[in-house]
Structure 1
Amino acid sequence: MFDIGFTFSLKPQFGLYGNCPFTAPGGYTNVDGYFAGIGGGKIGVMEHHQRAAGFLVGGAEDVSWGSADSPEGETKSRYGVGFFGLNTDEQGNPVYRPQCAHYLHLGFIGVTANLNYKDWPDFFLGWVGLDPRGDDGRGEKRAASPGRLQSLEARLSRSRDGLRLLARTTKARYAPDEPIVLEVELHNVAGRGRGQGEKPRDIEVYFEPVAKDQRGETSEWLLKFYAYEVYSGRQRYASPKVSVPAERRAELYHRVTLPPGAFVGRRFTFAPARQWLRPGDHFFLASYEVTKDSGMVILHPELTTEQVKKLGNEHAYVPVWTGKIYSNLATFRVERKKLAGLF
């Protein structure tokens, strides 16, 4: 409904910005510090960031209240502002946000006073059980704390029978128009664990990350990927389920002998972030699975059916590692689209 309180910063900063009555923004503010008062639906002292610039007919505002690591989470407001209040969000979609914003910060201290007209009807109707804006459950979408992510990673990313799966993105941050690139590696870690009695050894790995599905399209097979939003936990991508019958595996014969400490990997390129991911923090989780019915790979693809019969299966096929393992969490951030070319 409204934001009112004082801002504090550890370093001298400047802010003088107004947008009232939401049609003629003017001024500039760039403050990273703390807020004491009522702001972003929270009460108390909290982390606060405000960036805004306006030129009467257009501008942009980017304001956040609280921290993603705090129990209350972080509330963000980011949009373009302009004449007649025809605003746009970070994706360039039109939004309507009637408000009256005032930010003043000189040196180490400042004051903030905002009125959000659109929230007033929602507030009063909420007393009778109505939620026109559909935001009464927003507090449920709290950020996953670093501890929770580490706990999840510790449970999943364990080696199995000497094999470990590692995943990482090629960059920590991606612009909305950049493809997301993920590197995945299978490592032979046999003998590295203490107290397990396991000795270093070579491991035969079936390495066919992708295969043709029933429609003849290439899809992830032995390697599968899952992408999630860090804050909400919402799944944004999951590899399709692909089953390849034994009679269709004639061209799927690649295997790798991994000596102790060696690895084999592959790079995967996903569509630009703006096509399937929202701005913010995300993570990939990869899995590698070879079932028992895929546990024998032909010794040489040139072997004919008759030659296989003469050699016998135990000489014509090589047993490979079977089982299922998960990777670490490969975290990355999708940057927000710059609003009005400002920030």
Structure 2
Amino acid sequence: MVELAPFKPALKAGFDEVALDPAYAYAVAGGPVSLDQLARVLFAAQGCTARAWGRCLRAAPSAGATYPLQAYAIVRDVEGLEPGFYRYVSPAPFSHRLELVSTGTWEGSGAFAVVLAEVPERTTSVYGERGYMYVREEVGHASQGALLEAGALGLAAEVGEAPPGLGVRAEVKVEVGRRGARGLAREIPEGELPRPPKPKMTLEEAIVARRSVRDYSGEPVELAEVAGLLAWTLGGRLRSYPPLRGSYRVSCYVVARNVEGLKPGVYEYLPLSNSLERISAGDYARRLAYACLGQEWVARAALNVVLCARESSEIAEVEAGMVGQGLYLAATSLGLGTVAVGAFYDDEVASVLGVSERPLYVFPVGKV
């Protein structure tokens, strides 16, 4: 067993900086990394940030706090740590350790890889078949947490398929290592949206502070804050997360109710021009709340961000989770609150938006 130093926010980078210079934009190169770097990436994926209702609340949100994921690390070149396959355990706030499962070597480009094993029964026993979507979205949340933290550490990272032979049920791994050659730079067009404000906290502070927030003050959200949520996470040809299997599948819509500088209505966010295109005018919040099984926070939010996909696929659900983690951390960084809503009538949500796509997530957003 390897006890890791208790997690404490220390890095100065904000969500905006890390999202605009993502870890996946660099080739993962060889060479050792420190044990502290490994610990921070794992914490950002699955660390315990608080305790409530007799259980740990983790860095990645979970449907009904069912937490169907178990994080592992394939260690190849971490200073002071024997190569092998380790279970990551975070039993109390900011406390964490590694438990050696097996020794050996596994191919990969990074100094280590985060492996996200799935125990779907924890979630499907509560939510039935729809729980499988929630599990895949949670894989996306945790993966993006690891990617963002790797970026804050000045490391490179890439998302790929977990290797066979680990003895766990895992589809996804995040390879992390030193930065090699840089690929295409991420650029966000000026567009029609205003320049976002600076975050009120660092990325690591946001990871610790992030919660699912359902109570909002009723004050209007500024359009510049909406621009931060959307542009940092989704704006440009390259987004804050890598194109899974070579392409982006998730599209984004905004149902605005109380946004300063934006008339109530349904809008599509256009990443390539960093702009909002109105689909229909009017206040659709109450109708959207009905489509979300009457969840009142959807009706009370200043706006709702709705994620959809043109195709129904498991990889789109993982991508929606990656977007969702970005929205959570961007909102927290700006002093806003949000919560991931996955329970809704798919056809009704699509009807509110006026699209034929499949809805994957709804994020009410408001001042707190």
Both structures adopt the same fold (TM-score exceeding 0.5)? no
Larger radius of gyration: 1
Q: Which has the higher strand share?
A: 1
TM-score, normalization by structure 2: 0.24
